[in-house]
Amino acid sequence: MTAKKPRIVVTRKLPDIIETRMMELFDAQLNLDDRPMTKAELIQAVAGADVLVPTITDRIDAAILSQAGSNLRLIANFGTGVDHIDLATARQRGITVTNTPNVLTEDTADMTLALILAVPRRLAEGERLMRAGTWTGWSPTAMLGHRIWGKRLGIVGMGRIGQAVARRAKAFGMQVHYHNRKRVHVDIEQELEATYWESLDQMLARMDIVTIHCPHTPGTFHLLSARRLKLLQPQAYVINCARGEIVDENALTRMLEKGELAGAALDVFEHEPACNPKLINLDNVVLLPHMGSATIEGRVDMGEKVIINIKTFVDGHSPPDRVLSSML
C-alpha cells in the first residue's frame, strides 16, 4: 500500500516544472493566481499543512505560527532570506525551517554589477531621454557620467554574493574593499585583491561606491543609518540588492534630494512593495522591482532545492538546507 503523501501548501506561483514535480511527489495545494495570501489564509494553511512553502512576501510571525496544527513540522522557504519567518517561535514549536542558499549567487552578483554600471554612467537617464523623444544628437558635454575603472568599491557583507561581486568588480578594474563580521580567509583576500576594514565607518568614508550584501537581521536593521550615510563622500553611490531594511531609506532619500550623494541604485525597499515616492522623481536613482535574482534558471534551481529539502525531511533525514539556530 502506498504511503500517504505529505500535504504541502505553496503560497505563490512557482515555475511550472517545479509545480508539476510537487504534484507528483506530494499532496500539493498550489496558488494558481499568484496572489499573496492574506493573514487568514496563511493561518488556514499552517493549520492544515504538513509542510508550508512560503516566499519573502509571506510574514510567518508568531501569531500565525501559534495557529499551526500539530502536523506542521517543516517550513521549506522558497528563497535564501528568512527574515520574514519567526525562527525563534518555529524552533520553540519544533518546526524545522529550510531555505535555498547558493543558487542565486551569480544572478544577484550580475544584477549588482549592472547597477554599479548603470548609475555612474547614467544609463536610466539616457534611456528615458530616448523614450521621451527629446534627444537632439551627440554633444561633447551631454550625459556625462563617471568611469568605474579605478574606483573604490566598498562591499558590506563578504559572503558568497559579496565575493562574486568582488570578482566581477576586479575584472572591471575596481579597487575592492570590504567590511564583514569576520575577516575572510587570506587566500580569498589575495584572489580578490581585497582590503579588509574592521570599522564600517572608516570604510564608508573612503569609498566611491558602496554595495550591500549582508542579510537582514535585527543587528543589520538600518546598518546604513542616517549617521553612517553622512560619512559617505558627496560623489559616492549606494547600491542595494540585499534587503531594503538595511538602509534608512528616508535618510538616503533626503541626502539624494540635497545632492549630498551622487546617486543610488535600489532593487529592494524598506517597505516593499511601497517605494518612497520622492525617489521616483530623482534622476540620479535607478529603481528596480526586486529582480536581482529573477532568472528562469535561478527560480527553477530554488524550486528543486525546496523539493529536495521536503523529500529529505519526509524520509526522516535532516534536510541539507536547514536554517540553524545561529541565524537567529
Domains of the chain: 7-103+295-327 (3.40.50.720), 105-287 (3.40.50.720)
For residue range 31-45, what is the model confidence (pLDDT) as tens digits?
Answer: 999 999 999 999 999
Per DSSP, the three-state class of 266 is strand
Can you read off the three cell numbers belonging to residue 89?
A: 517561535
Q: What nine digits make up the cell of 202?
A: 572608516
Please state the pTM of the whole predicted model. 0.90
Question: What percent of the chain has a predicted confidence (pLDDT) above 70?
Answer: 98
pLDDT band at residue 4 under the 50/70/90 scheme: confident
Taking Cα atoms as reference points, which of 263, 266, 269 lies closest to residue 282?
A: 263
| pLDDT score recorded for residue 325 | 52
Greater pLDDT, 4 or 225: 225
d(CA 255, CA 229): 8
| pLDDT of amino acid 327 | 41
Helix crossing, 16-25 with 296-314: angle to 10°? 10
Active site residues: 243, 272, 290
Residue 149 has φ and ψ, to the nearest 5°, of -55, 125
% of residues, the chain, pLDDT over 90:
96
Contacts of 219 (CB under 8 A, 6+ apart): none
pLDDT value of position 324: 78
For residue 225, CA distances in Å to 26, 173, 216 come to 45, 29, 14
Mean pLDDT over 125-144 rounds to: 96
Query: Binning pLDDT at 50, 70 and 90, where does residue 328 land?
Result: very low
Closest to 286 in 3D by CA, of 259, 309, 311, 264:
264
Q: Determine the pLDDT at residue 326.
A: 42
Measured distance CA(221)–CA(244) in Å, rounded: 9
Omega prior to 54 cis, within 30 of 0: no
